[in-house]
Amino acid sequence: MKTILYYFTGTGNSLAVAEGLCRRLPDCELVPVASVARDPGRIAPEADRVGIIAPVYFSGLPAVVADFALRLDLARVPYSFAVLTMGGSGGTPALHQLERILTQGPGKRGLDAGFTVKMPGNYVLMYGPPNDATIGKILGKADRRIEEIAGLVEQRVQKRPRMPVFGSLVQHLIYPKFIMGVHDADRKFSVDDRCTSCGICVKVCPVENIRLEEGRPVWLHHCEQCMACIQLCPPLAIQAGKKTEERQRYHHPNLRIKRPE
Ligand SMILES: Cc1cc2nc3c(=O)[nH]c(=O)nc-3n(C[C@H](O)[C@H](O)[C@H](O)COP(=O)(O)O)c2cc1C
Ligand code: SF4
Ligand code: SF4
């Protein structure tokens, strides 16, 4: 029973979900969405089960995940599901967006089930992380939820995503503006004198949007606004305007940072 899990993550929450599920599902392969997003054309996985794991951005999908879903053909996959992670709310409309894209896409086949998992919010442009005790509680609950979702996936439960009765104002009004400017939004990022030229920001960017020039990060304007570079810079040297200077940083404790060679 082969399972492929496609995942996108900035700060490790969605990766922790993907890894937690993969440990519990036999013959499971993890594939980063960004690694297949580069090749143009249809993506037709050969597996008994396919899952898509990603964060919620403004009650919608990250741009790279929406683009990936547009090319994903699940017609020959017996069971498909998605798990979206979020800080508070907006998961249901984002799941519905994914369902809509997949049913209109090349496979004309949507999801069998959609799930959400609450995780610590990572949008450091608007807020800092909760305190350590709260993070611990959220992550403990998330672990139990991952266990539960793995069981439901094993049973091939049917739980098709639906739009909330009153729709989603955030997806309707804010998400389109976010998507329109997302790739260029790194123009507001800057680096201060605390930068040690360690190169970690380059390594953690899931879409290779950063290179070092004379030891300092330069952003290449195909950003996904995942927050990984800001959140994972060890001396907190990356800012987006004035507000981020005062805020603490967050990443999931299981996230392995690939240190530069
Ligand atoms: C650009 C952006 C927009 C976000 N919008 C939402 C949102 O609408 N609702 C929500 O609950 N969390 C929102 N979040 C928080 C993330 O969905 C959440 O922290 C997620 O688990 C991060 O996953 P990751 O660590 O895999 O990147 C947003 C985060 C970012 C970076
Ligand atoms: S992670 Fe931070 S300290 Fe390291 S190179 Fe990037 S900006 Fe500089
Ligand atoms: S540049 Fe930073 S915010 Fe943009 S995609 Fe890369 S890591 Fe994420």
CATH number, position 148:
3.40.50.360
Mean pLDDT throughout 71-97?
97
Q: Look up the domain containing 188 and give its range.
A: 181-246
Which of the four pLDDT bands, split at 50, 70 and 90, describes residue 212?
A: very high
Pocket-forming residues, ligand 1, beta carbon under 6 Å: 9-14, 55-59, 85-90, 119, 121-123, 170, 225-227, 252
**Is 111 in the same domain as 139?**
yes
- Report the range of poorest mean pLDDT among 34-38, 49-53, 186-190, 233-237: 34-38
Atom 2 (ligand 3) nearest CA: 229
Task: Classify residue 171: in a domain, yes or no.
Answer: no
**Is 91 in the same domain as 144?**
yes
Average model confidence (pLDDT) across the chain: 95
pLDDT value of residue 182: 98
What CATH number corresponds to the domain at position 205? 3.30.70.20
**Spacing, Cα 196 to ligand 2 middle (Å):** 6
Quick one: what percent of the chain has pLDDT higher than 90? 91
**Spacing, Cα 214 to ligand 1 middle (Å):** 32
Mean pLDDT throughout 45-73?
97
Q: What are phi and psi of 217, to 5 degrees?
A: -70, 140
Residues in Cβ contact with 188 at an 8 Å cutoff, skipping those fewer than 6 apart: 240, 241
**Is 69 in the same domain as 151?**
yes
Which of the four pLDDT bands, split at 50, 70 and 90, describes residue 162?
A: confident
Distance between CA atoms of 143 and 208, rounded to whole angstroms?
30
pLDDT value of residue 258: 64
Give the closest ligand to the alpha carbon of residue 183: 3
Question: In the Cβ-directed half-sphere of 167, how many Cα atoms lie within 13 Å?
Answer: 5
Of the residues 166, 196, 219, which one is the last residue of a structural domain?
Answer: 166
pLDDT value of residue 257: 80
**Is 156 in the same domain as 43?**
yes
**Is 28 in the same domain as 117?**
yes
pLDDT at 58 over 90: yes
Ligand 1 atom at minimum distance from 121 CA: 19
Q: How many domains does the chain have?
A: 2
Q: Is the CB of 218 under 6 A from ligand 2?
A: no
Residues 91, 110 contacting (CB under 8 angstroms): no
Ligand 3 atom at minimum distance from 224 CA: 5
**Spacing, Cα 209 to ligand 3 middle (Å):** 6
Ligand 1 atom at minimum distance from 120 CA: 19
Task: Classify residue 252: in a domain, yes or no.
Answer: no
Residues in Cβ contact with 58 at an 8 Å cutoff, skipping those fewer than 6 apart: 90, 170, 171, 174, 175, 178
Task: Classify residue 218: in a domain, yes or no.
Answer: yes
Task: Classify residue 145: in a domain, yes or no.
Answer: yes
- Pocket probe for ligand 1: among 11, 14, 86, 125, the residue whose CB has the most ligand atoms within 8 Å is 86
**Is 86 in the same domain as 138?**
yes
**Spacing, Cα 121 to ligand 1 middle (Å):** 6
Atom 7 (ligand 1) nearest CA: 58
Which of the four pLDDT bands, split at 50, 70 and 90, describes residue 259?
A: low
Mean pLDDT throughout 2-23?
98
- Report the Cα 258 to chain-centroid distance in Å: 18
**Is 78 in the same domain as 122?**
yes
pLDDT value of residue 165: 73
pLDDT per position as a tens digit, 136-156: 999 999 999 999 999 999 999
Of the residues 137, 166, 195, which one is the last residue of a structural domain?
Answer: 166
The kind and range of the H/E element at 132 are helix 132-154
Of the residues 166, 199, 233, which one is the last residue of a structural domain?
Answer: 166
**Is 199 in the same domain as 160?**
no
**Is 157 in the same domain as 191?**
no
Which of the four pLDDT bands, split at 50, 70 and 90, describes residue 39?
A: confident
- Pocket probe for ligand 2: among 192, 195, 213, the residue whose CB has the most ligand atoms within 8 Å is 195
**Is 84 in the same domain as 53?**
yes
By C-alpha distance, which of 203, 224, 227, 199 is closest to 213? 199
pLDDT value of residue 146: 98
Taking only Cα atoms into account, the Rg of the chain, rounded to an integer number of angstroms, comes to 18
- Pocket probe for ligand 3: among 223, 227, 238, the residue whose CB has the most ligand atoms within 8 Å is 223
Distance between CA atoms of 83 and 53, rounded to whole angstroms?
5
Mean pLDDT throughout 90-113?
96
pLDDT value of residue 252: 97
**Is 196 in the same domain as 159?**
no
Task: Classify residue 260: in a domain, yes or no.
Answer: no
pLDDT at 86 over 60: yes
**Is 156 in the same domain as 188?**
no
The pTM of the full predicted model, rounded to 2 decimals, is 0.96
List Cα–Cα distances, 131 to 26, 84, 188, 192, in angstroms.
36, 23, 27, 26
Residues 250, 129 contacting (CB under 8 angstroms): yes
**Spacing, Cα 197 to ligand 2 middle (Å):** 5
Ligand 2 atom at minimum distance from 232 CA: 1
